[in-house]
């Protein structure tokens, strides 16, 4: 438990430990003198970051502490303990997951889909207990993968999947990689010898979207929803791969707790459900402690459920309802259970994000990397407030696996902001008129034979001059995330390509402006604006150029990583696959793709051509920009007077911070402009610090990078 006094003590210890280097640790006595403090400090900062989403040190400082601990344990392996922060990721593969019996059954919940169901539940509880008014606890129902955690003598000894509710699979090593699951906790201070806790493994919605985008780029089918992604991730055979998925765990029920004599503590010492959630929160677990509400009577319950149904989209994790539990644990035995669910709890389910519709036809699109993607055109249907009229069918294998045909009635799911996904075909609705989908043998754009590289699921057009690929590459190069050429959007690029003004990326810097002036809808002013935007793009930082080159698997984040380690883009010609792999978050597949790109003569010639046209391929000078926003996350809402939101976000990121579009407890600042939207309200609800535009300008005015000064009016 981190009391205010304890936190002050640990922050002071942090400052002291940051001054220590491994060279100062010469003997085992030196190591023993600091290792316990070092572990405690790291656990504290894990809690601040992963549970409270409110860190008090930078990522760099945290990494420095963690690496010091790792080096000490490497030097003196006899000092390694099972609950050391370094022991989260086990080495080697898990060939199979042994089955283990839960200490208490992991039952499902009875479901309700309307308020009348909740009133029926309340009536049954009152009849069974004899109470006129029942106290309930109400909390969000997370849509993830169920787990159980067992601790004994304060140590995490076992983690398992739900399985059939009686027996699950032992996935302890995988769960140890999740930083919101403490490897040890002070249960003894509550008189607990052994405890089993039920929880849910989740993936944040923004990370889920990123994972699906990466899977699509690799030709893999996206996960249908965060629940499927979480369930698949915790059963990966390699814990190191699990650690990369960004999983989090919320715990929400103590199902078993005994003291050293074996006496049951539930309903005796631990009397209320909301009390149990508070205990878990105080011990460092991620729990719905701040979201849980104790309600007197079913009317309060219904009102709270309504509130959450309205704001579910603002929550950073996928929710599919609310859980209503009798708060008095002593009543659980009296109310009892069925073979399926407890009679003391019920789930109020939110409106579904699924709908059925029919496939009208299938078209085949060619992307900038040559991947041919089948896209089903649908009878328009509304899902979660959005009209869906098309859905990706991923690849040929996906179509065959689900036996999708033109004319089929299909179930479509759209979870949060995620792209629509075909869950299944309603085969019972078939009439016999449905037609099989025939995958083309030749490129729909250029007619070249399609190929499927070994080990891949995607058919590709390998003609580098394929019109569809050329156009897509130019669109991507000019996009906001790459060279940000305002006025050269998708429609304009396609138009200029048809007119012969654009045939390759370098042609962007040879546009015939005199001819463009004669086009309908173009005047002197609009042409000058386009010319200015093209000229400005020549001086973008090299990470934007790397992004714009469209290297397979290389997005904004990887491009920044590469740019930090080179002087000129051309330097990457000299890097080996092994050297690229040594960079943060770059694995073999990405490294190989970068290597192949910079060992393709056509690509090298294109970079040389861009340089000859005035595009900056080297850092003009090493920017002396202070990273004043290290470890800070910003969200902007409302209109800014000083600049566009994109420029403000770029400034934050160039100063070491992170700019996102969604508010969570990890957000450091919400910058509020004119006419702010729901992000402002959410920041207030979560207690996130809000600042106005003037305060933001005061923070950045002395640190704005030179090339961005012309884009901001202060």
Q: Quick one: which H or E segment has residue 175? A: helix 172-175
Whether residues 241 and 218 fall in one domain: yes
The tokens describing 551, both together, are: 């290297």
Q: State the Cα–Cα distance between residues 222 and 422, nearest whole angstrom.
A: 10
Q: State the Cα–Cα distance between residues 61 and 63, nearest whole angstrom.
A: 5
State yes or no: pLDDT of 317 exceeds 60.
yes
Measured in degrees and rounded to the nearest 5, phi and psi for residue 270 equal -100, 100
More confident position, 197 or 58 = 197
> What's the pLDDT score for residue 61?
79
Whether residues 265 and 331 fall in one domain: yes
What CATH number is associated with residue 694?
A: 3.40.50.10190
User: Is residue 546 situated within a structural domain?
Assistant: yes
Whether residues 145 and 262 fall in one domain: yes
State yes or no: pLDDT of 677 exceeds 90.
no
User: Is residue 111 situated within a structural domain?
Assistant: no
The tokens describing 234, both together, are: 């915790």
Bridge partners (DSSP) listed for residue 390:
377
Residue range 63-85: mean pLDDT, rounded: 89
Whether residues 289 and 145 fall in one domain: yes
Round to the nearest angstrom and report the end-to-end CA distance of the chain. 46
Residue 434: strand, helix, or coil? coil
Residue 211: strand, helix, or coil? helix
Whether residues 484 and 566 fall in one domain: yes
Q: State the Cα–Cα distance between residues 474 and 458, nearest whole angstrom.
A: 22
Secondary structure in 3-state letters for 21-69: CHHHCCCHHHHHHHHHHHHHHHHHHHHHHHHCCCCCCCHHHHHHHHHHH
When pLDDT is cut at 50, 70 and 90, the band that residue 684 belongs to is confident
Bridge partners (DSSP) listed for residue 699:
none
Q: State the Cα–Cα distance between residues 168 and 464, nearest whole angstrom.
A: 50
Q: State the Cα–Cα distance between residues 233 and 236, nearest whole angstrom.
A: 5
The domain boundary, picked from 381, 415, 437, lies at 437
Residues 659-671 have pLDDT tens digits of 887 788 889 999 9
How many domains would you assign to the chain? 5
Question: How many other CB atoms are found less than 10 A from the CB of residue 704?
Answer: 19
> What's the pLDDT score for residue 90?
62
The tokens describing 363, both together, are: 């078209």
Contact between 176 and 170 (Cβ < 8 Å) = no
User: Is residue 309 situated within a structural domain?
Assistant: no
User: Is residue 644 situated within a structural domain?
Assistant: yes
State yes or no: pLDDT of 415 exceeds 60.
no
Residue range 582-596: mean pLDDT, rounded: 86
Q: State the Cα–Cα distance between residues 463 and 445, nearest whole angstrom.
A: 10
For residue 346, give the nearest of 107, 108, 109, 105 by alpha carbon. 109
Whether residues 203 and 65 fall in one domain: no
For residue 201, give the nearest of 131, 256, 148, 126 by alpha carbon. 148
> What's the pLDDT score for residue 647?
85
Length of the chain: 714
Which residues are within 8 A (CB) of 701 and not within 5 positions of it... i.e. 6 or more apart? 714
What CATH number is associated with residue 416?
A: 2.40.50.140
Using alpha carbons, list the distances in angstroms from residue 609 to 494, 520, 546, 551, 612.
22, 31, 15, 17, 5
When pLDDT is cut at 50, 70 and 90, the band that residue 78 belongs to is very high
Question: How many other CB atoms are found less than 10 A from the CB of residue 265?
Answer: 20
Lowest mean pLDDT among 36-45, 89-98, 136-145, 262-271: 89-98
DSSP state of 563: H
Residue 295: strand, helix, or coil? strand
Residues 141-188 have pLDDT tens digits of 998 889 999 999 999 999 999 887 889 999 999 999 998 999 999 999
When pLDDT is cut at 50, 70 and 90, the band that residue 577 belongs to is very high
More confident position, 184 or 318 = 184
> What's the pLDDT score for residue 661?
78
User: Is residue 41 situated within a structural domain?
Assistant: yes
The tokens describing 676, both together, are: 């702010």
Residues 343-374 have pLDDT tens digits of 999 999 887 677 889 999 999 999 888 899 99
Residue range 503-528: mean pLDDT, rounded: 93
The tokens describing 445, both together, are: 């754009």
Contact between 485 and 545 (Cβ < 8 Å) = no
When pLDDT is cut at 50, 70 and 90, the band that residue 108 belongs to is confident
Q: What percent of the chain has pLDDT over 90?
A: 54
Residues 525-545 have pLDDT tens digits of 999 999 999 999 999 889 999
Whether residues 597 and 697 fall in one domain: no
Whether residues 493 and 596 fall in one domain: yes
User: Is residue 628 situated within a structural domain?
Assistant: no
Using alpha carbons, list the distances in angstroms from residue 615 to 100, 148, 228, 650, 714.
61, 56, 44, 20, 28
> What's the pLDDT score for residue 210?
79
For residue 486, give the nearest of 530, 442, 448, 526 by alpha carbon. 530
Q: State the Cα–Cα distance between residues 175 and 169, nearest whole angstrom.
A: 12
Whether residues 689 and 540 fall in one domain: no
State yes or no: pLDDT of 50 exceeds 80.
no
Q: State the Cα–Cα distance between residues 208 and 418, nearest whole angstrom.
A: 8
> What's the pLDDT score for residue 663?
86
Whether residues 77 and 204 fall in one domain: no
> What's the pLDDT score for residue 417?
47
> Residues 281, 285, 289, CA angle at the centre, nearest 5°?
35
Contact between 549 and 598 (Cβ < 8 Å) = no
Residues 208-222 have pLDDT tens digits of 887 877 776 666 677
Q: Which residue matches tokens 């140890």? A: 176
Q: State the Cα–Cα distance between residues 229 and 211, nearest whole angstrom.
A: 9
Active-site residues, by number, are: 141
Q: What residue numbers bound the domain in which 704 lies?
A: 633-711
Residue range 455-480: mean pLDDT, rounded: 89
Residue 196: strand, helix, or coil? strand
Q: What percent of the chain has pLDDT over 70?
A: 95
Question: How many other CB atoms are found less than 10 A from the CB of residue 514?
Answer: 8
Where helices occur in 460-506 by DSSP H, the ranges are 467-478, 490-499
Q: State the Cα–Cα distance between residues 274 and 533, nearest whole angstrom.
A: 57
User: Is residue 205 situated within a structural domain?
Assistant: yes
Which residues are within 8 A (CB) of 601 and not within 5 positions of it... i.e. 6 or more apart? none
When pLDDT is cut at 50, 70 and 90, the band that residue 293 belongs to is very high
Question: How many other CB atoms are found less than 10 A from the CB of residue 83?
Answer: 16
The tokens describing 590, both together, are: 């990405």
What CATH number is associated with residue 68?
A: 1.10.287.610
Whether residues 327 and 369 fall in one domain: no
Beta-carbon-side half-sphere exposure of residue 345 (alpha carbons within 13 Å): 23
State yes or no: pLDDT of 383 exceeds 50.
yes
Contact between 175 and 248 (Cβ < 8 Å) = no
Whether residues 542 and 516 fall in one domain: yes
Where helices occur in 78-131 by DSSP H, the ranges are 115-129
Q: State the Cα–Cα distance between residues 204 and 142, nearest whole angstrom.
A: 11
Secondary structure in 3-state letters for 619-653: CCCCCCCCCCCCCCEEEEECECCCCCHHHHHHHHH
What CATH number is associated with residue 479?
A: 1.10.150.20
Measured in degrees and rounded to the nearest 5, phi and psi for residue 334 equal -65, -40
Can you list the positions of beta strands (E) in 394-517? 405-406, 409-413, 421-425, 435-436, 450-451, 460-461
Lowest mean pLDDT among 136-145, 171-180, 377-386, 504-513: 377-386
User: Is residue 299 situated within a structural domain?
Assistant: no
Where helices occur in 613-677 by DSSP H, the ranges are 645-654
Using alpha carbons, list the distances in angstroms from residue 614 to 434, 484, 551, 629.
55, 16, 21, 32
When pLDDT is cut at 50, 70 and 90, the band that residue 59 belongs to is low
Residue range 623-648: mean pLDDT, rounded: 82
Residue 355: strand, helix, or coil? strand
DSSP state of 339: S
Secondary structure in 3-state letters for 252-283: EEEEEEECCCCCECECCCECEHHHHHHHHHHC
């Amino acid at each position: 438990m981190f009391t205010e006094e304890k936190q002050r003590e640990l922050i002071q210890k942090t400052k002291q430990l940051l001054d220590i280097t491994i060279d100062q640790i010469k003997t085992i006595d030196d190591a023993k003198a600091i290792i316990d403090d070092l572990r405690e400090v790291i656990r504290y900062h894990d809690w601040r970051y992963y549970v409270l989403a409110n860190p008090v040190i930078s990522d760099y400082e945290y990494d420095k502490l963690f690496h010091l601990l790792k080096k000490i344990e490497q030097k003196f392996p006899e000092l390694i303990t099972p609950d050391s922060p370094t022991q989260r990721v086990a080495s080697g593969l898990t060939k199979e997951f042994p089955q283990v019996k839960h200490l208490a059954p992991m039952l499902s919940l009875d479901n309700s889909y309307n308020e009348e169901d909740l009133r029926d539940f309340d009536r049954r509880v009152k009849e069974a207990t004899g109470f006129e008014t029942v106290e309930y606890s109400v909390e969000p129902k997370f849509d993830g993968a169920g787990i159980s955690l067992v601790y004994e003598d304060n140590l995490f000894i076992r983690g398992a999947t739900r399985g059939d509710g009686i027996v699950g699979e032992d996935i302890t090593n995988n769960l140890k990689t999740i930083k919101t699951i403490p490897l040890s906790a002070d249960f003894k201070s509550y008189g607990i010898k052994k405890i089993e806790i039920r929880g849910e493994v989740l993936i944040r919605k923004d990370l889920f979207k990123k994972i699906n985008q990466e899977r699509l780029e690799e030709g893999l089918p996206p996960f249908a929803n965060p629940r499927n992604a979480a369930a698949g991730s915790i059963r990966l055979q390699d814990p190191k791969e699990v650690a990369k998925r960004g999983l989090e765990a919320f715990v929400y029920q103590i199902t078993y707790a005994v003291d050293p004599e074996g006496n049951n503590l539930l309903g005796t010492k631990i009397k209320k459900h909301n009390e149990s959630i508070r205990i878990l929160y105080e011990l460092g677990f991620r729990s719905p402690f701040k979201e849980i509400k104790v309600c007197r009577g079913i009317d309060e319950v219904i009102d709270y459920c309504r509130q959450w149904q309205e704001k579910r989209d603002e929550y950073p994790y996928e929710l599919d309802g609310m859980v209503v539990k009798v708060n008095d644990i002593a009543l659980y035995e009296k109310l009892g259970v069925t073979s399926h669910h407890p009679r003391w709890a019920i789930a109020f389910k939110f409106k579904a994000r699924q709908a059925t519709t029919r496939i009208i036809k299938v078209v085949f699109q060619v992307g900038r990397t040559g991947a041919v993607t089948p896209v089903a055109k649908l009878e328009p249907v509304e899902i979660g407030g959005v009209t869906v009229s098309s859905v990706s069918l991923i690849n040929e294998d996906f179509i065959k696996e689900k036996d999708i045909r033109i004319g089929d009635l299909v179930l479509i799911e759209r979870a949060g902001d995620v792209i629509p996904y075909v869950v299944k075909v309603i085969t019972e609705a078939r009439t016999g008129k449905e037609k099989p989908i025939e995958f083309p043998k030749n490129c729909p754009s250029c007619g070249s034979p399609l190929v499927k590289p070994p080990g891949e699921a995607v058919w590709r057009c390998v003609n580098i001059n394929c019109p569809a690929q050329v156009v897509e590459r130019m669109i991507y190069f000019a996009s906001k995330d790459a060279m940000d050429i305002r006025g050269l959007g998708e429609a304009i690029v396609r138009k200029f390509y048809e007119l012969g003004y654009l045939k390759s990326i370098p042609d962007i810097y040879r546009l015939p402006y005199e001819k463009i002036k004669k086009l309908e809808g173009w005047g002197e002013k609009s042409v000058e604006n386009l010319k200015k935007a093209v000229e400005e793009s020549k001086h973008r930082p090299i990470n934007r150029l790397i992004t714009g080159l469209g290297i397979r698997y290389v997005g904004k984040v990887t491009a920044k990583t590469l740019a930090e380690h080179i002087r000129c883009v051309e330097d990457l010609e000299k890097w080996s696959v092994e050297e690229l792999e040594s960079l943060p978050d770059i694995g073999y597949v990405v490294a190989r793709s970068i290597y192949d790109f910079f060992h393709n003569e056509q690509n090298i010639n294109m970079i040389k051509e861009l340089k000859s046209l005035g595009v900056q391929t080297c850092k003009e000078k090493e920017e002396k920009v202070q990273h004043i926003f290290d470890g800070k996350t910003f969200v902007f809402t409302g209109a800014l007077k000083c600049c566009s939101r994109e420029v403000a976000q770029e400034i934050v990121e160039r100063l070491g911070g992170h700019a996102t579009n969604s508010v969570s407890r990890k957000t450091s600042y919400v910058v509020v402009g004119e006419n702010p939207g729901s992000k402002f309200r959410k920041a207030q609800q979560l207690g996130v610090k809000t600042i106005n535009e003037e305060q933001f300008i005061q923070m950045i005015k002395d640190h704005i990078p030179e090339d961005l000064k012309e884009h901001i009016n202060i």
